[in-house]
Amino acid sequence: MVVMAKSPVSGLSVRQAVDEPGVSRLCNELFRFRFGTNPERESGDNVFQLHIDSIGQPAPDEIWVTDSPVSSERVGDFAIAQCADYLAIHVEIDLAPVADFKALITQVYRELLQLTRERNYPNLVRVWNYFPGINAGSGDLEMYRQFTAGRAVAFGGFAHEGELLPAATAIGTDEGTPLTITMIAARHQCRMIENPRQTSAYKYPREFGPSSPSFSRAVLVVAESGYRILMSGTASIIGHQSMHLDDPAQQTAETLRNLDELIQQARHATQTSNGQGQTLTDGYLRIYIRRPAQVTEIETALRDHLVDDPNIVFLRGDVCRRELLLEIEAAGDI
């Protein structure tokens, strides 16, 4: 069992920007995500652009905050921000000249992992992956399967402390957008959380590709109030099978049940309870929707199943399985 220290490790929290979005303003702002396929504002080294559009209202910047001083720099193609306990790396790569996507993923991941080792942040916490055409190709040549295979090759060369796999998201973006990867790593060991309702992604059977996806369902990190859970992109899957085909409302409800189960597993693992059942405190949700016309049905299903009022951002993105209409990632204090 991994024992997580609450002190003196720096906390890690997420908030939405309430001021006019701009470059990083706070000494303890590790980084901020900015959304949109047509960036218009100047960015600093720790402002990470995600080339994915919001549905409805423009999405505010999403700020990842720690409680220790932060430094940022650019090293080659990599934007890097770090504090005493956490390292964040962001990279964007034009895919137009790329002939071998799997080989590119292996190379980029090896470089990312090497940076985490060189700077002594050996434990991966959270990774986001965005690239166009995620469902393009058939069989093992599908882009997502090629991505998964390339990542697995890179991970095979790096032994992670405590066998920790990061929480992760992989979403398809619009044609012409770059491959974008953001990685957070920690100096200290964190805790991996799995969902008993779902087959662990790293144990998926061969029918889902030559390599099982290298991620955990969630990871726990230290927060100001105790622990924060960072949940991977989660969809309407029970065991390893997709559920509720062509029904966005039921897919939403099933996805939320999976997130609820992760919260319960995290509270059991840490013997933590905030007295609010399955509700996250200080929570946020990113919801990726394949067909923007279904956003109203999905919003209605959310209202029916959420008992609190987290910050929610709706984004237009393709899920790794063609039959899945949405995917939700979440974070919050448990």
Alpha helices in 179-279 (DSSP H): 248-270
pLDDT tens digits, 112-147: 999 999 999 999 999 999 999 999 999 999 999 999
Give the span between the Cα atoms of 322 and 289, in whole angstroms.
12
pLDDT tens digits, 220-241: 998 777 899 999 999 999 999 9
Q: How many CB atoms lie within 10 A of CB 18?
A: 9
Give the span between the Cα atoms of 318 and 57, in whole angstroms.
19
In this predicted structure, what is the pLDDT of residue 6? 47
In this predicted structure, what is the pLDDT of residue 281? 66
C-beta of residue 121 within 8 angstroms of C-beta of residue 166: no
Give the span between the Cα atoms of 23 and 18, in whole angstroms.
13
pLDDT tens digits, 3-39: 344 445 778 888 877 554 444 455 689 999 999 998 7
pLDDT tens digits, 254-304: 999 999 999 999 999 988 765 445 556 678 899 999 999 999 999 999 998
Q: Is the dihedral of CA 27, 22, 81, 230 positive or negative?
A: positive
Give the span between the Cα atoms of 166 and 186, in whole angstroms.
11
If pLDDT is split at 50, 70 and 90, which confidence band does 157 have? low
Q: Which is the CATH superfamily of the domain at 12-333?
A: RutC-like (3.30.1330.40)
Q: Is the pLDDT of residue 171 over 80?
A: yes
Q: Indicate the average pLDDT of the chain.
A: 89
pLDDT tens digits, 48-65: 999 999 999 899 999 999
Q: Is the pLDDT of residue 1 over 50?
A: no
Q: In the chain, where are the structural domains located?
A: 12-333
